[in-house]
Amino acid sequence: MQDPRIRIAASAILSVTAFISVPGAAFAFLWWLVFTPGITLIQKNRLVLPLVLMTGFFSLVLELFGGNGLSYFIRMSVIILVGMWLYSEQRPGEFLDTGVWLFGDRAGFDLGLVAEMGMQSLSCIIADFERVLLAARVKGMRWGIHSLIPVGLILVHGALARAEESAELLAIRGYRSGGVWNPVFITKPWDGVAGLAAVCAGIFAVLPVSEFFILYR
Amino acid sequence: MIITLKDARITRDSWSLTAAGTFDQGIHLISGDVGSGKSTLALVMAGLFPVSGGCIVKEGISSCMLSLQFPELHITGRTIAEECASWGTRPEDILVTTGLTGREETSPFYLSRGELKRFHLACILAKDYDLLLLDEPFSSLDCEEKARLCSTLERRSRGITILFTHEQDILPRVVRVWEIYDGRLTDCGRPPDAFRHWHHLPVSVRKLIALGSVPDNISRQDLREAACRIQG
Amino acid sequence: MIAIESLRWRNLTIDALDIGPGVTTIIGPNGSGKTSFLRICAGITVPDQGTVRIDNLTPRETRIGWVNEFPDRNILFARVTDEIASSLRFHRTISGSIIGEEVRACAESVGILHLLTRTVRELSGGEKVLVSLAAALVNRPKVLVLDEYDSHLDARTGEKIDRAIRASGSRYVIRCTQHMDTAMSSDHLLFFDSGGVTHSGRPGDIFPSLKGTAWYPAAWECGA
């Protein structure tokens, strides 16, 4: 999907759709199967399975304590899939394009900049994580639960150090608030179809099925 | 002890490198531009990255260590003392040699970049590895620390030491020079014969040769001796 | 003139120091206060005591370009063209089309016109430093501050960057390096040790007193 405006709006609608009910999650999942690379996305994004497994763990706890863990697991897993699709489709500059288009060159620029830098930070954390795993192997250490804290410390420290340096760079380069940015969008016909389908999925999720059949008769 | 690269082919996305050669005991220097693949080759020789063709053969090597370029990624201890222990070294010895006495309980993250690099190298060099791979060991060190590192490396009495570096100014005496050039690891040979084929020949060595005096090797002492022969 | 008076910050103590126009290189051991001094000159750090005046203005009132040691940490934006344009976009005083022209001109002067369509992540370490330098220069800073920018560069890229620095047009260039052959080509040299300036002058006057130490340039060892 080329147009980030439609992509972000579709992701928001589908996430809410999946969150509110299991049928909603089913509609969102169907959309995901039709309009995204599907299984290829899961193969390319190594974070998907760990996140789903983590969700599974919390769902099990919820189920054991009397909650509807299965419903939670289904809904959250679909939200993770939608989120992964949004993350993998994102291209540099798109958050700024969308932010400035929506809210102008002050608040919109600021919001877009925060989102862009957030994505960059996430990429750096992922890259650091891979290097940390490698460094642990060099030390002859085995990866396990006991490694969570030291690895977490390294990643957090790295992220904080980068944040501090980014703040200094922003200040030195004269950032106060807002900036000059000319949004550029490419919208393909299929983007519109996918966006409309997302809206429909949202409507079907909130519309009672019996009401639908009354309208049909 | 030897490590042999038998037509090893290393591929990463659209980049590839071919490497062949035998490394025996002593200090070897592998030079190359930034992005030429030195770090990846170091990972391959440490057995941490696969080859897509050929193979790596190690004979008589029972222990191997790789020092990565950025030491903060190696940190696993909450304190400097814990970090020393994680490398299997005695904190007392390391703290004295690195000038960090009294800071045992400090977090390694609070060390400056130079201090951390010095500390990291001290932990690695405290043990005797058959194969020691050092990726950019001179980065973040000041000139005095670079010179100290060169002395420490030259004092290693056994084992294979391979330096992957683009450093040109302060280097130890080496038994062999290699370089990564045009997607290939090339054996330039033993100094001073290696100087004829070495694209990354240090500027100071090049100047001495132009003045008619060929240094025996690439250390500062060799440069001084070659300079003395001119003045002499 | 950059005039420093009664400067105090952590272990850094400088009673009086003047830095003239041109390229000033700072050398010295790790922990001697070099980075602290550069950060004060760039306006990133405000000292506990003392003043730094750049032609009678404070660093924060002056246009500064900054490049630090680690190429990956000098980057705000994912695309090269956005990164170079950043300071122009933030100042909001010129239009998008003129920003585009300025970015192209700056990239050409640094020799990275061919990188404008790329993302920073796919560049080599040396190319990233060139992009950082272009981002620092696009705003035509009066003072260009570089902290061990060449630490992770090979000799060939280092020479390319030095040429770009010389051609930058910045009135003051203050840089820190551990390559003494680079320091040799400066207009002014400062040697820092234990939080203070122990030597200040032209490289030709200072380096002879450092003969026999690791700070003596390799090129001078061989009589070049």
Bridge partners, C191 (sequence order):
C27, C199
Domain residues of chain A, as ranges? Answer: 1-90+187-217, 95-186
pLDDT above 80: residue A214 = no
Maximum Cα–Cα distance across chain B? 56
Answer yes or no: do A157 and B76 touch at CB < 8 A. Answer: no
Sheet holding B2-12, edge to edge: B53-59, B2-12, B15-23, B184-189, B176-181, B26-31, B160-164, B131-135, B64-67
Q: Is the ipTM of this complex over 0.95?
A: no
pTM beyond 0.90: the answer is: no
Over residues B54-71, the mean pLDDT reads 91
Q: Which of C151, C214, C223 is facing B144, going by the closest CB pair?
A: C214
To probe the interface with C, which of B15, B29, B33, B141 has the most C CB atoms within 10 Å? B33
How near does any CA of chain B get to the CA of A58, in Å?
Answer: 28
pLDDT of residue B13: 74
pLDDT of residue A211: 55
pLDDT of residue B10: 92
How near does any CA of chain A get to the CA of C222, in Å?
Answer: 40
What does pLDDT average to over chain A?
Answer: 88
Which chain B residue has its CA at the smallest distance from A130's CA? B73
pLDDT of residue A209: 59
Over residues B132-148, the mean pLDDT reads 93
pLDDT above 70: residue A97 = yes
Highest mean pLDDT among A135-139, B37-41, C41-45: C41-45
pLDDT, tens digit, for every residue of C144-161? 999 998 887 887 888 888
Rounded-to-integer distance, Cα A191 and Cα B64, Å? 54
pLDDT above 60: residue A138 = yes
Rounded-to-integer distance, Cα B30 and Cα A25, Å? 56
pLDDT above 80: residue C73 = no
| Host H or E run for residue A100 | helix A94-103
The answer to whether A84 touches A45, Cβ cutoff 8 Å, is yes
The answer to whether A198 touches A9, Cβ cutoff 8 Å, is yes
Rounded-to-integer distance, Cα A67 and Cα A60, Å? 9
Report helix, strand and coil shares of chain A as percent, to nearest 5.
Answer: 80, 0, 20
pLDDT above 80: residue B231 = no
pLDDT above 70: residue C223 = no
* pLDDT band at C166; cut points 50, 70, 90: confident
Q: Which two tokens stand for residue B105?
A: 């309980």
Comparing A132-146, B102-116, B145-159, the range with the smallest average pLDDT is: A132-146
Over residues A74-93, the mean pLDDT reads 92
* pLDDT band at B46; cut points 50, 70, 90: very high
To probe the interface with A, which of B40, B76, B134 has the most A CB atoms within 10 Å? B76
- In one-letter notation, the amino acid at residue A46 is R
The answer to whether C2 touches C18, Cβ cutoff 8 Å, is yes
E strands within chain A?
none
pLDDT, tens digit, for every residue of A111-124? 999 999 998 888 88
pLDDT of residue A152: 84
The answer to whether C131 touches C106, Cβ cutoff 8 Å, is no
pLDDT of residue A208: 67
Q: Which residue has the higher pLDDT, C201 or B90?
A: C201
To probe the interface with A, which of C46, C69, C80, C89 has the most A CB atoms within 10 Å? C89
Answer yes or no: do C121 and A176 touch at CB < 8 A. Answer: no
pLDDT above 60: residue B52 = yes
* pLDDT band at A217; cut points 50, 70, 90: very low
Q: Which of B194, B178, B195, B188 is nearest to B41 (CA)?
A: B178
Highest mean pLDDT among A42-51, A150-159, C62-71, C191-200: C191-200
Answer yes or no: do A150 and B66 touch at CB < 8 A. Answer: no
pLDDT, tens digit, for every residue of C104-143? 999 998 889 999 999 998 888 788 888 999 999 999 999 9
Contact pairs from chain B to chain C, CB under 8 Å: 106
Contacts of residue A131 in chain B, CB cutoff 8 Å?
68, 70, 73
pLDDT above 80: residue C222 = no
Query: Can you spell out the DSSP letters for A186-217?
Result: ---HHHHHHHHHHHHHHHHHHS-HHHHHHHH-
The answer to whether B135 touches B42, Cβ cutoff 8 Å, is yes
The answer to whether C127 touches C115, Cβ cutoff 8 Å, is yes
CA dihedral C140, C142, C144, C145 (to 10 degrees): -140
Over residues C197-218, the mean pLDDT reads 92
Q: Which of B33, B145, B169 is facing C218, going by the closest CB pair?
A: B169
pLDDT of residue A194: 93
Q: Which two tokens stand for residue A186?
A: 């490419």
The answer to whether B26 touches B80, Cβ cutoff 8 Å, is no
Rounded-to-integer distance, Cα A60 and Cα B192, Å? 69
pLDDT, tens digit, for every residue of A41-59? 888 777 788 888 889 999 9
Over residues A135-139, the mean pLDDT reads 82
Q: Which residue has the higher pLDDT, B132 or B158?
A: B132
pLDDT of residue A130: 83
Residue ranges of domains in chain B, CATH in brackets: 2-63+129-190 (3.40.50.300)
The answer to whether B170 touches B146, Cβ cutoff 8 Å, is yes
DSSP code of residue C194: T
pLDDT of residue A127: 83
pLDDT above 90: residue B140 = no
pLDDT of residue B41: 94
